[in-house]
Amino acid sequence: MPNDRIRRYAEAIVAIATGEGGLDAVEDELLTLARAIDGSEELRSKLSDRHLPVGQRLTFVESQVLTAAHPATRTALATLIAAELAGELSAVAATVADLAAHSRDEEFAEVYVAAPIDDARKAALKAALERATGKTLDLQVIVDESLVGGVRARIGDTVIDGSLMRRLDDLRGRIGA
């Protein structure tokens, strides 16, 4: 559950993105940026370093990396950096995704797979998860090579773990290994 400050910023981002007709793009771009920043200690520390002037940290927003991003995504990132919330980008992005899904009468679902999947498999996975949960889902598929095989999904507070590691752990438990 996000804190009130994160939720308020996420609500503002959703309002701006909706007003600019780019909510889907902003949702996807923020999630992608959050994963990229989480995966780079150097980048995360540069964006969060309060000893660096905000203007210097904002140069990332104007960098080549973000030139193709929706203007509302760049605005959102600049706002979060200026508000000293760059370290909370993952939480803000997840809250934006939840709010965006709810605005479409859907539930946001993060689905982790071991390797990229095509659109047909994504559709089949979405249908299976919707049957299992009884909810209409907004699926965000994330490749996580540490899974080795299978799928792990987070839908709200529910986690469905069909990963190979989980299955092996279950098997070990049953045979007493």
The CATH number assigned to the domain holding 168 equals 3.40.30
94 and 113 together in one domain: no
Query: What pLDDT sits at residue 149?
Result: 83
Query: What pLDDT sits at residue 61?
Result: 65
Single residue among 68, 101, 134 that ends a domain in this structure:
101
71 and 139 together in one domain: no
The CATH number assigned to the domain holding 24 equals 1.10.520
Domain that holds residue 40: 4-101
Q: What is the pLDDT along the chain (177 residues), one digit of tens a residue?
A: 679 999 999 999 999 999 999 999 999 999 988 988 888 888 888 888 888 888 888 787 677 567 788 999 988 988 998 898 988 999 999 999 999 999 999 999 999 998 999 999 999 999 999 999 999 999 999 888 888 788 899 998 888 888 777 777 777 777 876
29 and 80 together in one domain: yes
111 and 36 together in one domain: no
97 and 110 together in one domain: no
Specify whether the CB–CB gap between 110 and 140 falls below 8 A: yes
Query: What pLDDT sits at residue 65?
Result: 64
85 and 138 together in one domain: no
Specify whether the CB–CB gap between 2 and 10 falls below 8 A: yes
Number of domains observed in the structure of the chain: 2
In what helix (H) or strand (E) does residue 132 lie, and over which residues does it extend? helix 119-133
Residue linked to tokens 């508000």: 83
Q: Hey, what are 116's tokens?
A: 């990229």
10 and 73 together in one domain: yes
pTM: 0.78
- In one letter, which amino acid is 173? G
Phi, psi of 96 (to 5 degrees): -60, -45
> Among 6, 158, 163, 137, which Cα is nearest to 80's?
6
pLDDT digits (tens, 9 = 90+) for 134-147: 999 999 998 888 88
114 and 41 together in one domain: no
